[in-house]
Amino acid sequence: MNKVLVALGILLLVIPCGLTADSISSSIVCSGATWVSSSVISDARSYAAHLFTSDFAVVNRTLNIGEAITALVSGRSTGPMGIDEYTGQASNQTTQVPACLFTDLDQKTGRQDDISTHGLLISGDYLSYRILSDKTVAGAVVNGSGIFLMNARSDDGNRTVSHASDIAGTMNVTEEIVFGEEEND
């Protein structure tokens, strides 16, 4: 009889104020069912990912938390695989004139970025990376069959950028989103 490994991982990570550097990495090979979850919630940055698989599957995750949050998730399954991944970041742009203490704060609307990926593959491969630093970066590669919904939105009060991809059937998808890139003059 083949050995069956059922891995259930639930990871909740709350980052306190101050400078911290944490790293979490896992690798799972399973011939049963797998459900994995990771999240980071801080004052300005959020990341959450949930994956479930059945049948034979390989799931790898790496999460690094410091000045920036970086995440790499990959999954390969011969059966159903569900993906739910979210990234959000808000930047504050409130400043005060340094020459005078009695001036009002220059309150500008900060940038709010939200990127989400939701999918259910009949079988296939999923690779995703997220970087939350001065920019919000998200990329995904999907190769398989099923349904996928990818949404992105950035709003700084002056400009709103929205993006959506809804894919169903047999697919080979590559997407990269970068919000907050400085323009070259």
User: In this structure, how many other beta carbons lie within 10 angstroms of the beta carbon of residue 161?
Assistant: 12
Strand partners, 87: 47, 115
Q: Which residues of 87-109 are buried (b: 16+ CB within 10 A; e: fewer)?
A: bbbebeeeeeeeeeeeeeeeeee
The confidence score (pLDDT) of residue 11 equals 26
Concatenating the DSSP letter of every residue in 92-138 gives: ---B--TT-TTSPPB--PPPEEEEEEEEEEEEEEEEEEEEESSSEEE
pLDDT band with cut points at 50, 70 and 90 for residue 121 = very high
pTM of the model: 0.76
Q: Which residues of 71-82 are buried (b: 16+ CB within 10 A; e: fewer)?
A: bbbbbbbeebbb
The confidence score (pLDDT) of residue 132 equals 93
Mean pLDDT confidence for 24-43: 89
Q: Is the pLDDT confidence value at 13 over 60?
A: no
How far is the C-alpha of 12 from the C-alpha of 87, rounded, in Å?
A: 15
Those residues whose C-beta lies under 8 Å from the C-beta of residue 66, and which sit 6 or more positions away, are 19, 20, 21, 22
Mean pLDDT confidence for 93-104: 58
Q: Is the pLDDT confidence value at 161 over 60?
A: yes
What sign does the dihedral 124-128-184-109 (CA atoms) show? positive
Q: Is the pLDDT confidence value at 2 over 90?
A: no
